[in-house]
Chains A and B, each alone.
Chain A
Amino acid sequence: MEGKTVLILCEKPTAAQRVAKALDVKGNPQKREIEGIPHYIADRDGKRLVVVAALGHLYTVAPSVKDRNVFPVFGFQWVPRYEVERDAKETQTWIDAVSKLANEAQEYILATDYDVEGATLGYTILRYACGDKEKEAKRMKFSTLTTGELEKSYRELSDHIEFPTVEAGICRHFLDGMYGINLSRAMTVAAKQWSGRYAVLSTGRVQGPTLKFLVSREKRISSFVPTPYWGIRARVEINGSVYEVEYERDVMESRDEAQAVVNECNGKKGKITEIEVRKFLQNPPVPFDLGSLQTEAYSLFRYTPRRTADIAERLYLDALISYPRTSSQKLPPIIGYRAILESLSREPKYGRLAPELLRRRDLVPREGKKQDPAHPSIYPTGNLPERSLSEPERRLWDLVVRRFMAVFGEPAVKQGVKASITVNGHRFFIRGRQTLKEGWIVFYRPFMRAEEIVLPPLKEGREIEFKEVLREDKFTKPPPRYNPSSLLRKMEDEGIGTKATRAGIIDTLYNRGYVSGERAVVSELGLDVIDILNRYCPEVISVEFTRELEESMERIQSGNEKRENVLSKAVTRLTPVLEELKKHEDTVGQDLSEAVRKARMQQRIVGDCPVCGTGKLMILFSRRTGKRFIGCTSFFKGICKASYPLPQKGSVKPAERSCRTCGSPMIRFKMQGKRPWTFCINPSCPSKEGRR
């Protein structure tokens, strides 16, 4: 091969392989390695294309002062990740390989994901690993990894990389570093100064306000006092079938009042006094953006937002769906609706559905309001899987395909019936709902949850027999807890974080021990961290402030703001906050140390003591022998002497569940290199009889 050598830089190895395959004239690029780092050599238009991948970010923002006890630090710079992150050693070989390939190239093309992160990581590699090649590099823009789109994007290269987007990305990294590092250092140092013990305490520009949402909800739930009210549950019989009916009032504040309704209606016959029939159209759903895909996948399959994003990323790298990190709900015609549907019709399960749409003269999708300048909404590329997909991958792909078809469907026609039944002066309602014409539901049926209630023909004046009328004793309920999906939606609604970072921030809150469980329960540590930040630096957990910074970054991306201005404003606002924290270092340290101590104690609580019923069973260490065991906290009050032995080697953690046989708490025991073992702490548990 002769001619110029062109280095094409992708974001992930799988993407590099696809790009090389798509661009090689024979569709068969050569795979080579430098120190185990794969790259591909392709031949096209007389040029030698060297396609290499990054491994996500190879560079990161690090403070100029490395000493973790020093803050504030406002000097930040890009450094190779292997220099500052313990688990990023492999990035050194990767950077060396990219540098070597860059030295041999005469032209450079950036083919990373077309978004803020993709542009930023590409920029840092072009600048630092390739030797200031960011200004001469061209850009491939694509939303799918299909051969057709990759070839087109190579033919229509942009002359340069998207510098305003890069500026916004750099600004985000610097702001996150500035806030995260300074505030986390301030908290960690304060706690260490007070207690002499090191504990990882963190907060950040988005993490703080997100935790604040959770804390605010936790406070409402934990201090909630229910009030009693009463309702009526009734059933009627029509043509031999039994139907639930609603009483005209949902809430009655007195038991006697509710009982009076029961006495006056039970076993009586009522009469239908009014029938309302309403036909209405239910429009098709709009295409998926990342947030709505994450919400739907959580609601249908209970996948966390992070898991959905990861699965969607794999499907994208397999060229099965378009780029998932999008906030668009638009489907431009340029993606080729018909070609996609024709390809999908080759898959047996869509073999009947896709042709149904193809028979139409016009295909017009129902679109949502949200737009994304970089990518359309998430849609199937039309490619069929080349490998056997895992169950979660198959489910998510099916969801994306069916949603894509559904948006082209006709509105569903539904009918609602509401009949009023009067008995002894009381009014009840019977409701029915039924689909008259399925429309788009045909395509989305496996994911539909609405239940149909088909009523028999009803006529005004008809007598209806009340089979059962019951008084229901009820209580008002606290607001629901956030789950990972509703929290993500809340972050979206409040405009904090980005589609690419929100799921990760939620994960961090869990990893730091601020939150636990699927129904997010805030720990004592999470409550205390927010309480302390609220007392000494409320601005850093203010949603408005975080949103303001997000808007500034959007302005940078659209070329209406300068990165330097935003960073300088951030320094001006952060400096007094950090000074305030430093001024109160003792008090903050004491409060945080106490919170960490309590959190550590909490982690040792195994469950309630079955002997005294008031204390908690806890993992303790004998002062005399140093041996560990489980004892009751009431021992220190002289009330209870319950104790249970523990293995002296390996790690022991509460399993957070009770034994099915005897009801005692269970613990999880793990020896290095062995499988974890969960067992009941009670040595006399009948479940252990066979082992004795």
Chain B
Amino acid sequence: MKCKICGRRTESELCKLHEEARRNLLKNYEAWKRSMSVSWEEYLREIQRNPFAGVWAKEVAQHLLVSGSANEQEGPAKDTEMNK
């Protein structure tokens, strides 16, 4: 199987590098939500524009927006649970 973002060989949807970025995105959403009151989709768009966000984090944000996982109900809630 290939990473949906970079094409690296992987056993899941994303390679290890993008998976780590995705985990960071999920982990930090709470802090954004608390301090900026942003929705998941707004958060992903903010990350895409942010100059300090890493390139893989931006790619994952773009991927989530395009693939429809930007919906708050489907996106972080489910993944955060998985993460736990």
Q: A-side interface residues toward B, CB under 8 Å?
A: 219, 221-229, 253-255, 475-478, 527-528, 531, 591, 594
Contacts and interface: CB of A to CB of B under 8 A. Distances in A.
A477 B51 CA distance: 9
B17 A219 contact: yes
Contact of B34 (A223, A253, A477, A594): A253
Interface in B20-41: 20-21, 24-25, 27-28, 31-32, 34-36
A478 B55 CA distance: 12
Given A254-B35, A476-B52, A225 B24 contact: yes
A245 to B, nearest CB: 24
Nearest to A474: B52
Nearest to A257: B35
B9 A226 contact: no
B36 A225 contact: no
B20 A219 contact: yes
Contact of B50 (A222, A226, A527): A226
A300 B49 CA distance: 34
B52 to A, nearest CB: 4
B28 A225 contact: yes
A221 B53 CA distance: 8
**B16, B17, B54 pick with most chain A CB within 10 angstroms:** B54
A225 B35 contact: no
**A222, A225, A226 pick with most chain B CB within 10 angstroms:** A225
Contact of A227 (B8, B16, B20, B28): B28
Contacts of A531: 16
A527 B17 contact: yes
Interface residues of B, number: 24
Chain B binding surface SS class? helix
Contacts of B52: 224, 226, 475-478
14 contacts: A222-B56, A223-B24, A223-B54, A224-B24, A225-B24, A225-B27, A225-B28, A225-B53, A225-B54, A228-B35, A253-B31, A475-B52, A476-B52, A594-B9
B70 interface: no
A478 B53 CA distance: 8
Nearest to A476: B52
Nearest to B50: A226
A224 B54 contact: yes
Contact of B31 (A219, A221, A227): A227
Given A223-B56, A254-B35, A475-B50, 4 more contacts: A219-B20, A226-B47, A226-B50, A227-B28
B39 to A, nearest CB: 15
A253 B32 CA distance: 10
A478 B54 CA distance: 8
A227 B17 CA distance: 20
A44 B18 CA distance: 71
Contacts of B36: 228, 255
B23 to A, nearest CB: 8
A221 B54 contact: yes
B9 A225 contact: no
Nearest to A473: B36
B54 A228 contact: no
**B9, B17, B32, B47 pick with most chain A CB within 10 angstroms:** B17
Contacts of B47: 225-226
Chain A binding surface SS class? mixed
Contacts of B24: 223-225
Contacts of B16: 531
Contacts of A255: 35-36
Nearest to A527: B17
B32 to A, nearest CB: 6
B62 to A, nearest CB: 10
B53 A228 contact: no
Contacts of B53: 224-226
Contacts of B55: 222
Nearest to A227: B31
Given A475-B50, A475-B52, A478-B54, A222 B34 contact: no
B34 A225 contact: no
Contacts of A528: 8
B32 A223 contact: no
Contacts of B35: 227-229, 253-255
Contacts of A477: 52
Contacts of A476: 52
A339 to B, nearest CB: 55
Contacts of A254: 34-35
Nearest to A255: B35
A150 to B, nearest CB: 55
A222 B18 CA distance: 9
Nearest to B62: A614
B32 A222 contact: no
A228 B53 CA distance: 11
A16 to B, nearest CB: 52
A223 B50 contact: no
Contacts of B34: 253-254
Contact of B57 (A222, A475, A594): A222
A223 B17 contact: yes
**A219, A222, A477, A531 pick with most chain B CB within 10 angstroms:** A222
A250 to B, nearest CB: 15
A299 to B, nearest CB: 24
Contacts of A527: 17
Closest 7 A/B residue pairs (Cβ): A223-B21, A222-B54, A224-B54, A226-B52, A225-B24, A227-B31, A222-B56
Contacts of A227: 28, 31-32, 35
A475 to B, nearest CB: 5
Interface string B55-67: 1110000000000
Contacts of B17: 219, 222-223, 527
**A228, A476, A528 pick with most chain B CB within 10 angstroms:** A228
Contacts of A253: 31, 34-35
B15 to A, nearest CB: 9
A224 B31 contact: no
Contacts of A591: 9
A255 B32 CA distance: 11
Nearest to A256: B35
Contact of A224 (B8, B9, B18, B57): B57
B54 to A, nearest CB: 4
A555 B52 CA distance: 46
A230 B36 CA distance: 11
A229 B36 CA distance: 10
A225 B44 CA distance: 10
A225 B60 CA distance: 11
Nearest to B38: A228
B29 to A, nearest CB: 9
B57 A228 contact: no
